[in-house]
């Protein structure tokens, strides 16, 4: 397992959830929900710098069959923009099937109500994405997913 903080990102059409892990890559925790606007990429780049991130892990929403639709294309485009902003920190796309469903369920079980849940579900989805990537790396010995080239 590589040593270093990773950021996890759940890309939505309105919001971006962000999570981070400890330097040992054991536990992902929620950080912030960003609005998808002119400042979200700057905020992500700042977080990567502040936390001296080893890499940024962006969730790739695919269908249960593994097909990629419009949401996956949007996530790929966003990841490319992130990669250009945080370089030389690598950005990696990882499968995020059911991350939002898992996050919603966990928040419901924890008793977090509707309005409150909407405010944090993107962060929790980012936690699910990042924790899944950490667990996969620990299990297989290599980082999961695919490196995203920056714009240019």
pLDDT in tens, 17-41: 999 999 999 999 999 999 999 899 9
The strand order across the sheet containing 15-21 reads: 28-35, 15-21, 6-11, 55-60, 91-95, 146-147
What's the whole-model pTM score?
0.87
User: Which stretch of 83-87, 100-104, 127-131, 147-151 has the lowest confidence by average pLDDT?
Assistant: 100-104
pLDDT in tens, 51-76: 999 999 999 998 777 788 888 999 99
CA distance 97 to 38: 27
**Per-residue pLDDT at 68:** 82
The residues spanned by each domain of the chain are 6-145
CATH 3.30.420.140: does it fit domain 6-145?
Answer: yes
Q: What is the DSSP letter of 148?
A: P
Contacts of 75 (CB under 8 A, 6+ apart): 11, 58, 59, 60, 61, 93
pLDDT in tens, 94-126: 988 655 556 555 656 666 666 655 667 788 889
């Amino acid at each position: 397992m590589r040593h270093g903080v990773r950021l996890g990102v759940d890309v939505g059409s309105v919001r971006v959830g962000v999570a981070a892990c400890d330097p040992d890559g054991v536990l992902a925790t929620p950080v912030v929900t960003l609005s998808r606007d002119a400042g979200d990429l700057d905020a992500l780049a700042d977080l990567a710098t502040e936390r001296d991130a080893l890499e940024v892990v962006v969730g790739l929403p695919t269908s249960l069959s593994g097909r990629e639709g419009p949401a996956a294309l949007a996530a790929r485009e966003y990841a490319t923009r992130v990669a250009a902003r945080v370089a030389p920190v690598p950005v990696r796309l990882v499968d995020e099937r059911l991350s939002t469903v898992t996050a919603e369920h966990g928040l419901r079980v924890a008793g977090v109500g509707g309005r409150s849940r909407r405010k944090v579900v993107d962060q929790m989805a980012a936690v699910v994405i990042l924790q899944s990537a950490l667990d996969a790396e620990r299990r297989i010995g290599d980082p999961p997913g695919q490196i995203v080239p920056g714009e240019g």
